[in-house]
Amino acid sequence: MGPTPTSRDDLTSRVLPQMILSDKSNPLTRPYSPLSSDLTVAQRAAARFSVRGNAIVTGGCGSLGIEAARALLEHGASGVSLFDVNLAQAQDIVDRLRSDFPSATIITKKVDVRDQQVVQAAVAETADELGSLDILLCFAGVVACNHALDIALEEWKRTLDINTTGSWLCAQAVAEQMVQQGTGGSIIFTASISGHSVNFPQPQVSYNVSKGALLQLKSSLAAEWARYGIRINSISPGYMDTILNEGEGLEEARRLWYSRNPMGRMGDPSELTGAVVLLCSRAGRYINGADIIVDGGGSVF
């Protein structure tokens, strides 16, 4: 027998849980103390965009993840844990990062973000090895381009499981650690212009849906978790010049993408780092529930 259906009486007697917001007396959400007047102009400028603590970067060995990790380290992060399913092929990149930042702790974890147990274990290990978790950047993702009538159910599920559910599993595990620490933190999802409008010319409904859902996930968690001092934001890149957009078969698509962008090109992965640093630094203290579009103006049309 299956579960007993919920009766009408049970439905009408429900008590809804209530969301709890922060208030101005909460030390986890009030403004930072002013920067010291003893600092020089240059020191104040550096302090405004300084990054403190340790970060997890999912998809951390991909071009976007590595650029973001490097930026956090340049701005003061003390440790970074790179989550990725393909660690072996990125060893040279990781070694270079360690060489460039010898005073930082840089670790790697083989993680499939679809596996809740693996995610939870990797987050717990990272917190233990680095001492705290203060930042989560979700870059793990896949792209699927298919006509809607041709998409198999398993392919649909795979796209949403990695892009959307994977981001949620990582965020929940990291937030639990941040709440336990009582120190707050910053979580950034990688949405996309695909979450705002339909791409052209390629059909990619499963990808678009997975990214649109991240925008609502960002907003929902920003409302719920602010009282813990956890800020949730997202960035929405346009077409980026990565391996995902390379190959002779994409030449015609790239021509169209360039022609519809005011800046006439794709973005370089390094051009996402300004938004990442802003959202993870002192300068982003009051930014919560926001999405920053980084697309060269392509979405204005």
Three-class SS state of 180: helix
E strand or H helix that includes residue 188: strand 185-190
In order along its 301 residues, the chain shows pLDDT tens digits of 455 556 777 777 788 899 999 999 999 999 999 998 899 999 999 999 999 999 999 999 998 999 999 999 999 999 999 999 998 888 999 999 999 999 999 999 999 999 999 999 999 999 999 999 999 999 999 998 899 999 999 999 999 999 999 999 999 999 999 999 999 999 999 999 999 999 888 899 999 999 999 999 999 999 999 999 999 999 999 998 876 666 677 788 888 888 889 999 989 999 999 999 999 999 999 999 999 999 999 999 8
The CA-atom distances, in angstroms, between 3 and each of 6, 7, 83 are 9, 12, 38
Residues carrying an active site annotation: 192, 207, 211
**pTM for the full model?**
0.93
Positive or negative, the Cα torsion across 182, 232, 86, 295? negative
Q: Which residues contact 141 (CB under 8 A, 6 or more apart)?
A: 59, 162, 163, 190, 210
Q: How many Cβ atoms sit within 10 Å of the Cβ of residue 240?
A: 19
Please give the CATH architecture assigned to the domain spanning 43-295: 3-Layer(aba) Sandwich (3.40)
E strand or H helix that includes residue 208: helix 205-225
